[in-house]
């Protein structure tokens, strides 16, 4: 199904622009009018990370006239495996500024607007206003729901993408363009349980997958802006990079959707962190009063070496993570073994008097497993806040981070 172009054409293209975009101009579906629409378009990209990097570069190369970048983070060395808009010399720089410079190098005819701030309920509506389209490259559920709701209230279509390890998804949410068009909440009415879906920082992502999904997002953006083709409105594109398999599923508007359904309950921006939850209530309760710092752990390890303290330090990460770095004296028992119950057989008996100390990469997974261990009777069990990341940063910087 086709939709009207989101943008009116600009008055003209310069001679230099005609030369630059000539391969677009000779496509009958795009032509001079379509390219003028792109020149007149204003697109906001949320995130200059894995998805944002290819999306920003291809939007710029395509000749989108105004590109906004909403990004508050700084470039880290671990980003460079997939965030191709940044380079070695950009490490430590704000991502939004690094991305701006790369865009202008790729296409000096583009106007870049930098929003170097974290999106939240206080600024999201003001930042979104004035853009024709939003490309969502966020990596967490709280921000995705906020983007969906703000875009809905402002009647701005947006292109969504998601990546994890070898799997990617993409869709277009545009209830303002058609009554039957779904929103993100129609696809995902509720966020997954806390800790169920790891972030890319926890679970990893194949770098080139970002290009696959990011380019799909730009493809959909160009179709929407110029009014060509059949956009992925009401469709979910799923990509399995390992099997090289593409699937396309139909997504229908949910009449019970809290935002766009028949009986609306979400009438304004909500507390998205609370709605999604970083960790489960059980994990939060377990961690309260049972969290130690890495400096406390360092002291405890010295006492254990001297024989004045007895405890087991359990690393609940995956084996491949354990190979990257580790806290000396830890034993590896992945989180999955706690979830299926087999890990309890590997721990000292509850009545042995041996304390259980748990850690992961950042403290999220260890908080979840702490709740399981305390529920099994290990009342004095604790976990390490900040995990191995904090250990490397504060105690042993000779180890690599990831």
Q: Does residue 360 carry a catalytic annotation?
A: yes
Point out the catalytic residue in the list 183, 200, 210, 276: 200
Q: Which letter does DSSP use for residue 399 in this model?
A: S
Write the CB contacts of 174 (distance below 8 Å, at least 6 apart in sequence). 3, 157, 158, 181, 224, 231, 233
Count CB-CB contacts under 10 A for residue 369. Answer: 28
Q: Does residue 183 carry a catalytic annotation?
A: no
Listing DSSP states for 285-348 in one string gives: HHHTT-EE-HHHHHHHHHHHHHTS--EEEEE-S-HHHHHH---TTEEE--HHHHHSSGGGGGSP
Listing DSSP states for 178-216 in one string gives: -TT---HHHH-SSPPPTTSS--HHHH-B-HHHHHHHHHH
Point out the catalytic residue in the list 183, 186, 210, 360: 360
Report the Cα 250 to chain-centroid distance in Å. Answer: 23
Report the Cα 330 to chain-centroid distance in Å. Answer: 30
**d(C-alpha 79, C-alpha 299), whole Å:** 33
CA atoms within 13 A on the CB side of 355: 15
**d(C-alpha 21, C-alpha 100), whole Å:** 20
Count CB-CB contacts under 10 A for residue 243. Answer: 9
The arrangement of strands across the sheet holding 311-315 comes to 291-292, 382-384, 355-359, 311-315, 330-332
Q: Which of 278, 3, 270 is nearest to 150 (CA)?
A: 270
The arrangement of strands across the sheet holding 133-136 comes to 111-115, 66-70, 42-46, 133-136, 158-164, 167-173, 235-240, 245-250
Q: Strand 245-250 vs strand 235-240: parallel, antiparallel, or unpaired?
A: antiparallel
Which residues are catalytically annotated? 200, 360
């Amino acid at each position: 199904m086709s939709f009207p172009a989101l943008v009116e054409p600009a008055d003209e293209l310069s001679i230099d622009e005609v030369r630059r975009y000539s391969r677009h101009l000779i496509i009958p579906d795009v032509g001079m009018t379509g390219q003028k629409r792109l020149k007149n378009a204003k697109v906001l990209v949320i995130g200059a990370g894995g998805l944002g990097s290819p999306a920003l570069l291809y939007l710029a190369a395509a000749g989108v006239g105004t590109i906004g970048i909403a990004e508050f983070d700084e470039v880290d060395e671990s980003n460079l495996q997939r965030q191709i808009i940044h380079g070695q010399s950009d490490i430590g720089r704000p991502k939004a500024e690094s991305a701006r410079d790369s865009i202008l190098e790729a296409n000096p005819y583009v106007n870049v607007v930098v929003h170097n701030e974290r999106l939240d309920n206080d600024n999201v509506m003001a930042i979104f206003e004035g853009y024709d389209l939003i490309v969502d490259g966020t990596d967490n559920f709280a921000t995705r729901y906020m983007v969906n709701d703000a875009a809905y209230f402002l009647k701005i279509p947006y292109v969504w993408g998601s990546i994890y390890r070898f799997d990617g998804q993409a869709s277009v949410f545009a209830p303002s363009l058609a009554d039957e068009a779904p929103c993100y909440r129609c696809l995902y009415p509720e966020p997954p349980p806390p800790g169920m879906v790891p972030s890319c920082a926890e679970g990893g992502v194949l770098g080139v997958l970002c290009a696959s999904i990011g380019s799909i997002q730009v493809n959909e953006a160009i179709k929407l802006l110029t009014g060509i083709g059949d956009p992925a409105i009401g469709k979910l594109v799923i990509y399995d990079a390992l099997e090289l398999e593409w699937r396309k599923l139909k997504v229908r508007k949910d009449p019970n959707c809290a935002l766009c359904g028949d009986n609306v309950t979400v009438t304004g921006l909500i507390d998205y962190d609370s709605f999604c939850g970083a960790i489960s209530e059980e994990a939060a309760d377990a961690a309260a009063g049972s969290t130690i710092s890495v400096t406390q752990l360092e002291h405890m390890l010295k006492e254990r070496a001297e024989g004045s303290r007895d405890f087991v330090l359990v690393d609940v990460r995956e084996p491949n993570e354990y190979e990257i770095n580790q806290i000396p004296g830890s034993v590896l028992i992945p989180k999955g073994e706690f979830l299926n119950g087999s890990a309890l057989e590997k721990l000292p008996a509850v009545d042995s008097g041996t304390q259980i100390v748990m850690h992961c990469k950042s403290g999220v997974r260890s908080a979840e497993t702490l709740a399981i261990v305390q529920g099994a009777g290990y009342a004095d069990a604790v976990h390490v806040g900040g995990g191995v990341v904090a250990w490397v940063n504060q105690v042993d910087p000779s180890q690599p981070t990831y």
